Amino acid sequence: MTATTSRNRKYVIALAVFLGAGVSAFGLARFYPALGPIAGSITPQLYVDSLPTADIPQQGRYVLVDAASARLYMMENGRVQDSMRVIVGKPDSPTPKLKDVIKYATLNPYWHVTPDLARTIIAPNVL
């Protein structure tokens, strides 16, 4: 799977977590061309199978986030266990590309608008 140019290319943000024996973990640093609008018309497993296999761990648990189609894929031993919609950034405030280890998850987290977001995004539209 190749993209034409980096300018018009969309990326998959890849996060990986390997929860094997004990607390060992690792992450993926590569970004894959996203399927974008057609991602919703194929199965999550078909999408993951279309990615280069050398870059995807075949063992363990990890999470792939496709920013172009706004989907998160929960993987275990190379198979999609579940997927869900996620909120991603816009062109003027894009989703950051990153790799990290997931140490814990918070269900139904509380979130409030930060002063910076209120000042730069909300206030200009209100006043």
Q: Where are the domains of the chain?
A: 11-126
Structure confidence at residue 8 (pLDDT):
29
Q: How many CB atoms lie within 10 A of CB 30?
A: 15
Tell me the pTM.
0.52
Task: Give, for all 127 residues of the chain, the pLDDT tens digit.
Answer: 333 333 323 333 333 333 222 222 233 333 334 444 455 556 667 766 776 666 667 788 888 888 888 888 888 887 888 889 988 888 888 888 777 778 888 888 888 888 988 898 888 888 7
- The residues near 79 (Cβ < 8 Å, ≥ 6 apart) are 45
Structure confidence at residue 75 (pLDDT):
85
